[in-house]
Structure 1
Amino acid sequence: MDGNRAATIAGFLGALAVLGVLVWVVGVDRTITALLTADPVALVLVVVVAGLWLTTWGLALWSVLRALGSPVRTHMAVLVYAGAVFSNNVTPFGQAGGEPLSALLISSAADTEYETGLAAIASVDTAHFVPSVGFAIAGFTFVTAGAVQLGRNLVFAAVAIAALAVGLPVAAFLGWRYRYELEETVVRLLTPVIRWLGKTVPRWSPPTAESIRARIESFFAAIDRIATDRRTLLQTLGFSGLGWACLAGSLWLSLYAVGYVVPVSVPLLVVPIGSIASLAPLPGGSGAIEAVLVTLLVSTTAVPAAVAASAVLIHRGATYLLPLLLGAGVASALGADHAATSAND
């Protein structure tokens, strides 16, 4: 626990350091001036749109859980998804680091197995990938059509889009194609580790290899149920697409708040690419995402760097802090409920 807390603190310090360097490079005074002169009405709209984003992606989770036979009320799905985003935002490597905790929150709220919760959040995160590629390609097409030349940062954007459109689907296909081989590999690697933990941790009986295999098979079975349910797929992708549109709208409104109107294609391009930076070893990708967004905004628009930085801080302030504050309460409540249930058992 102490190690996890130290890693989290170190991650936040690293994120603050990256943000500090970013603001220092573009100009501290100019960034603060732009923030202080931001349109208050537009700022309120940014928060509203951020709330709509969180709601639509929460509804995507609601759709998936219903298909898995573990339905929850729509408002609970939104709150639980806020808790999942919270776990991503406080653990290094963003979604990759927060998935286990997110699965635990979902399984507790839906009163289902951990593997079902893990399959649900994995399915929702995978669904988010499809609309993001579509938005990025559409934005890139319109941005490059108006560009005088394909600068270095736009070349980076093209490579990032190619990685999204080709690399991840290939990896997902191979993972699913060889899922049984993957299952055997996981069982072979985890079994000796878990047995060692069973000898080390007092009063804890480790699961057998058969139990581990059954849990992994349960996870893949849940994924298969979602993948073959056309209605759930279309509904989940629809909610995900609306969420991406809200994220792009949040960035557009943030730029408007500081006095700049940019083509809609710009946030459609930079927001999905910026999300790739969430893989950085920082809580929720903080620092890395802001740096990518500012870099792409400056290279695709006439917005000064300091103003772009202020707009990105407004956008990220809404889309990062809103689920952080809301999700912290949800995570605490579900964690207390899970602990009480375990104690009663």
Structure 2
Amino acid sequence: MNGDRTVTVLLFLVALAVLGALVWVAGVEETLTALGRARLPLVAVVVALTVVWLVSWGLSLYVVLGALGAPVSAPKAVLVFTAAMFSNNITPFGQAGGEPVSALLISEAADSEYETGLAAIASVDTLHFVPSIGMALLGVALFGMDAVTASRDLAISIAILVGLFVLVVGTAVLIYHYHHRIEQALATVVTPIARALSRVVPGRTPPGMRAVENRIGSFFESIDRVGADRRALALAGGFSTIGWFTLGVTLWTAVIAVEASIPLAAALVAVPIGLIAGATPLPGGSGAIETAIAAILVSLTPVSNGGAVAAVLVYRLATYWLPTVVGGLVATGLGARTVRSR
């Protein structure tokens, strides 16, 4: 555990160094001047929009849990989703690193099996990915084809986003058609690992191959249940789309808050493409996401380097640190409740 904390602290220090380098490249004086011009009422609007985003995506989780037969109240789903954002924000590789912890938090809150929590967060994350591509392409369409041809970096980013979409959809199709073989392969790999861990952790009985297969099968059955519920998919996808658009408006408002100006379309493009950088080993993609979004804004609009960086810092102050702080408190509360119940 101490080793994990040390790695996390070191990665946060690296993220701070990346942010410092970003401010230095953009111009320290220019960035600080832009931050000094920030209008507090608009900064408050940025925070309020962040809450709307969290509620929208929390309602997406609420719908998915209902489809899985593990319903929770809408306010509780929003809080649990915020706790899941906390786990994503403090672990390397963003969602990929935080999903196992997020699944545990969801299963505890919904009083369900771990596989159900894992299926819920996996379904929600997949649903979030599809509208992000639609929003980016909408931004490109609104911005005009001239902007795409004028910016080679933007064209490459769009190609990466579409490529990821094809990869995710293709992977989902393959898993759906061959999930029985995948279940058996995973059980073969996971069983010896689980047995080795049970020998290290006291009080744990080594699981058999059949038990592991059953738990993996339970996960895939949960995924199938969500996929078969067309109404839940449409409703959860709608909440996800609202959340994505709100994120775009949040970035646009953050730019206005530092007395700069960009088209809303540029923000709609920058947010989903910038979040690709969240796949870096830095906690929650911190440092990398700010750099990517600022670079996209500078390449697409006449905003200055310092203005773009200042706006992105305001944007991330709300969309990164607010879920991290509030989600951390919620995760702590869930953990304390679990300890008391046991």
Cα distance change, pair 80–148 in 1 and its aligned pair in 2 (3 A): closer
The Cα shift of 1:319 comes to 0.4
Question: In structure 2, what is the equivalent of residue 84 of structure 1?
Answer: 84
- 1:201 maps to a residue whose letter is V
SS at match of 2:147: coil
Specify the alignment match of 1:72 in structure 2.
Answer: 72
How far residue 144 of structure 1 moved from its aligned partner, in angstroms, is 4.3
74 and 143 in structure 1: CA distance in 2 versus 1, 3 angstrom threshold: same
Distance in 2 (CA, whole Å) between partners of 1:211 and 1:10 is 38
Residue identity matched to 2:7: A
Quick check: 1:137–1:161 contact (8 Å CA) kept in 2?
no
Aligned partner of residue 109 in structure 1, secondary structure: helix
Does residue 206 of structure 2 align to residue 206 of structure 1? Answer: yes
Partners of 1:17 and 1:283 lie apart in 2 by 13
Q: State the partner residue of 1:182.
A: 182
- What code does the residue aligned with 1:63 have? V
Give 1:147's aligned residue: 147
Which one is further off, 198-207 or 177-186? 198-207
Q: TM-score by structure 1 length? A: 0.96
1:334 equivalent in structure 2: 334
Tell me which residue corresponds to 2:225. Answer: 225
Q: State the partner residue of 1:318.
A: 318
Task: State yes or no: 1:9 paired with 2:2.
Answer: no
Partner of 2:284: 284
Q: Hey, what's the Cα distance between the residues in 2 that align with 1:336 and 1:16?
A: 31
The CA deviation string for residues 19-40 of structure 1, in whole angstroms up to 9 with x for no partner, is: 1111111111111110111111
For residues 1-345 of structure 1, the aligned pairs below 5 Å read 1-147=1-147, 149-342=149-342
Instruction: Look up the equivalent residue of 2:139 and give its one-letter code.
Output: G
Segment drifting more, 140-149 vs 36-45 = 140-149
Between the aligned partners of 2:313 and 2:87, the Cα distance in structure 1 is: 21
* Range with greater deviation from structure 2 (261-270 or 193-202): 193-202
Worse overlay, 262-271 or 80-89: 262-271
Distance between the aligned counterparts of 1:200 and 1:115, measured in 2? Answer: 23
* Residues 74 and 148 (structure 1), Cα distance of their counterparts in 2 relative to 1, 3 Å cut: closer
What's the secondary structure of 2:150's corresponding residue?
coil
Task: Report the residue type matching 1:301 in the other structure.
Answer: T
Q: Is the 8 A contact 2:158 2:273 kept in 1?
A: no
Gaps of 5+ in 2: none
How far apart in 1 are the matches of 2:39 and 2:319? 18
The worse-fitting range, judged by mean Cα deviation, of 229-238 and 33-42 is 33-42
Once residues 301 and 172 of structure 1 are traced to their aligned partners in structure 2, the CA distance between those partners, rounded to angstroms, is 36
Quick check: 1:23–1:309 contact (8 Å CA) kept in 2?
yes
| CA drift at 1:215 | 0.7
8 Å CA contact 1:62, 1:73 repeated in 2: yes
Q: Which amino acid aligns with 2:48?
A: V
Regions of 4+ moved over 3 Å: none
Could you tell me whether the CA contact under 8 Å between 1:62 and 1:72 is conserved in 2?
yes
Q: Is 1:133–1:164's contact at 8 Å kept on the other side of the alignment?
A: no
| Alpha-carbon distance change, 148 to 122 in structure 1, aligned in 2, over 3 angstroms | closer
Q: Which SS does the other structure have where 1:260 is aligned? A: coil
**1:147 counterpart SS class:** helix
Q: Distance in 1 between matches of 2:125 and 2:319?
A: 17
What is the distance in 1 between the residues matched to 2:289 and 2:308? Answer: 13
Q: What amino acid is the match of 2:114? A: Y
d(CA) in 2 for partners of 1:239 and 1:292? 26
Root mean square deviation, CA, Å = 1.3
Task: Provide Cα deviations, 1:56-75, integer angstroms capped at 9, x if missing partner.
Answer: 00000011111111111111
Tell whether the 8 Å contact from 1:144 to 1:150 is kept in structure 2 after alignment.
no
* Paired amino acid for 1:168: V
Change in 2 beyond 3 A, CA 1:150/1:170: farther
Q: CA deviation at 1:161?
A: 2.6
Superposed CA offset, 1:226-284 (max 9, x none): 10101100100000000001100110000111112321211111101111111110111
**SS of match in other structure, 2:109:** helix
Letter in 1 for 2:127: A
**8 A Cα contact 1:153 1:295, kept in partner:** no
Q: Name the stretch that deviates more: 132-141 or 311-320.
A: 132-141
Matched-pair contact (CA < 8 Å) for 1:71–1:110: yes
Tell me, yes or no, if the aligned pair for 2:103 and 2:121 is still in contact at 8 Å. yes
State the percentage of identical aligned residues: 49
Letter in 1 for 2:307: V
